[in-house]
Each structure stands twice: as C-alpha cells, then as structure tokens.
Amino acid sequence: MSAGELLLSAHALAVERGKRRVLSDVSVELLAGEALVVVGPNAAGKSTLVRALAGLLEPAAGEVRLCGRLLADWPRDARARVLALATSEEEGPDALRVAERVALGRYPHRGPFQALRASDHAAVARALEATGIAALAERRLGTLSAGERQLATLARGLAQEPRVLLLDEPAAHLDIGHQLQLFRTLDDVRRRGVGVLAVVHDLARAAQWAERMLLVAGGRIAAEGPPAAVLASEAASRAFGVRIRGHAVPSLPHPHYSFEESP
C-alpha cells in the first residue's frame, strides 16, 4: 500500500432518509494513511455520510468507490475485509465476552462458521492491546461501562485489519485518558497506511488530531481543508453559531481554541 493512495471516494453523493434528502452533492476523498475528521452541528448529516460511505445506505444519486471500484459491486465479505465501521451506537449481547466481541471482526476473513486460526487470535490480541482493554478480554459486555464498550467496538474494527476505518463519534463516553489513548491508537493505525475518517464532536480535539477537516452543514460540504482554516472560516461560524478563534500557545504544538457568540 502506497502513501497517498486513494482508498475511498464519493462523488456528487446524495442520500435520502424516508422522503427527506439528508445529503446533497457531497464529494470526499480519503487517502492511505490520512486522518480526515468530519465535524458539523447536530443533524447536519455527518452520521448519514459515514453510513453511506460504509455501504449501509444506498445513494439516491452519485457514487461511492472503494479502492477504485464501485462500493455496490463489492461482495459483503470482501468489502468487510477492506473497510471497517465502528459507531458509538453499536451494541452486543450482554452475555458476550469482550474477546468474543472483538473476534467478530475476523469473520469476514474466516466466515461465521469457521474456527479462528492462530493468525485470527493474534489479530484479536493486537486489537485488545492497542485499545488498552486486554485486561477486559474475559469480561462480559453487560459488566462494562459505556466507555469500555466503546473501546471494545473500536477493537472489533481494528481486528478486521481494514485498509479503511470509518468511525462515528469514537471518543463518545471516553474519559480524557482514554481519549488520548484512542487518538494515539488511530495514529498508530494510520502509520500502517490505513485511511481513517472519523466524526468527532469535540472541535478542539478534532483539530489537534486531524490533517484535514470536512465541515458538514445542512447536508452539504460547507468547508474543507486544514483544521485551523476550516474552524476560522465564516462557514464554521454560520454552522455552529459561534466565532471560533485559534490562539497560538508557545508550549503546545496546536492552537488553543476559544468560542464566542457570533455578532
């Protein structure tokens, strides 16, 4: 896999939920090793975009391509070996053990009725270790906190060993320590050439982590580019109803952001 390789793209994408058009004329590209963050106000269409990119929602117009091939042409198992989706809303049976939950990520490689091989168990162990929940492997999901369940969901996605990782609010329910570990883990994944696209609610955290930011507002792309430029834009001010200012701090590698009511 070469750095900068185009892994996932959407062109003129439109998505309808019921009779309402939620996304219109959305185009986006994700490269190998890239950190792309999606931000926007509530009900802007961020989660819909992620689910459409994952193939869970059929486009009303436009197209999505995975590794140059129309997403709709990928067999389900083949797609799951290349693309993983993890959301903060995922649930699993309370009686399921964490290691079993994470092992579900290996089924696209083996099938649901095939025994896991040593390589699969190794992938599960790596995912548990990467997310910091190896000590929880034998715990049942019903005994976990919301944050621990979220990490188990991420670990399941990592166990798929995908080329593209799509995340919807991966830091939801996580305390600050686990948030830092999460984004360190995502950076480790990116260094292996995986393209990561994540919806992140915390604008400051999103700006610190991502190389590129996509602002979704009203079902359309309102701004795209380096995080500092997007957050400073008039489009961001209109979308969030606040003025976002970045302040350089000599001891920090990233700006500190403040939020003021728009005039």
**Region of residue 39 (phi > 0: left; psi between -120 and 50: alpha; otherwise: beta):** beta
Amino acid sitting at position 65: R
Q: Residue 5: name the closest of 27, 26, 35, 34 by CA.
A: 34
* Percent of the chain's residues with pLDDT above 70: 94
pLDDT score at 4: 78
- Domains in the chain: boundaries: 6-261
Amino acid sitting at position 164: V
Three-state secondary structure string covering the chain: CCCCCEEEEEEEEEEEECCEEEEEEEEEEEECCCEEEEECCCCCCHHHHHHHHCCCCCCCEEEEEECCEEHHHCCHHHHHHHEEEEECCCCCCCCCEHHHHHHHHHHHHHCCCCCCCHHHHHHHHHHHHHCCCHHHCCCEHHHCCHHHHHHHHHHHHHHCCCCEEEEECCCCCCCHHHHHHHHHHHHHHHHCCCEEEEECCCHHHHHHHCCEEEEEECCEEEEEECHHHHHCCHHHHHHHCEEEEEECCCCCCCCEEEEEECC
CATH code for the structural domain at 6-261: 3.40.50.300
Banded pLDDT at 207 (limits 50, 70, 90): very high
Residue with tokens 């009203």: 218
Sequence-ordered list of residues with C-beta below 8 angstroms from that of 232, at least 6 positions apart, any chain:
244, 245, 246
pLDDT score at 20: 92
pLDDT score at 1: 42
**Top-confidence residue, 50 or 177:** 50
pLDDT at 15 > cutoff 50: yes
